[in-house]
Amino acid sequence: MVFDSRRGMSPLIATVLLMAFAVALGGMIMNWSSDVGSGGAVDCSAVKIDATQFCSDAQAIRVRARNVGEATITSLTLKIVSEQTGEFSIGIQNSALRKGESVDSSIPFLVAPDAKVSITASVGKKGEEALCPSPHVTRQPLPKC
């Protein structure tokens, strides 16, 4: 007989290998499903911004804001709406904020007296961030510095 000299794998080793394969496959599926399950939904309920300075001078809008919420903010956007000048959205540079961090920025912009100015946060993972649907801080009219 040709097969008499060959030996098979031990049942114990086969069981250990099957269990290791099942655990590895399960880990891969769980990791993949956590990325797919988010579906791009943005959770803005944990975003809270404390604007200690939010005013305008003759040539710029001054913003000093601090992230006091639980969410990590990927960026802040300034939205200016006025009947005279229309609607503008301006991204605030270097405004990615973890909990407790703050940003101090001066944005060159001449604000009309009737303008409604608001700060809105973007949250999410890098490359998949989304702007929250409602503003977090609003001023109308924007006070003078």
**Containing structural domain, residue 29:** 9-37
pTM listed for this prediction: 0.66
Number of domains in the chain: 2
In a domain, 66, yes or no: yes
Residues 25-68 have pLDDT tens digits of: 998 888 776 555 454 455 788 889 998 888 888 888 999 999 99
Per-residue pLDDT of 59-93, as tens digits, reads 889 999 999 988 888 889 999 898 888 888 999 88
> Is 145 among the domain residues?
no
pLDDT tens-digit series, residues 117-133? 999 998 887 677 788 88
- Rounded to the nearest integer, the mean pLDDT of the chain is 83
Q: Is residue 76 part of a domain?
A: yes
Rounded to whole angstroms, what are the CA distances from 89 to 76, 92, 118, 119, 122? 10, 10, 10, 10, 13
Distance CA 11, CA 77 (A): 62
Q: For residue 42, what pLDDT is reported?
A: 55
In angstroms, rounded to a whole number, what is the distance separating the alpha carbons of residues 123 and 97?
A: 10
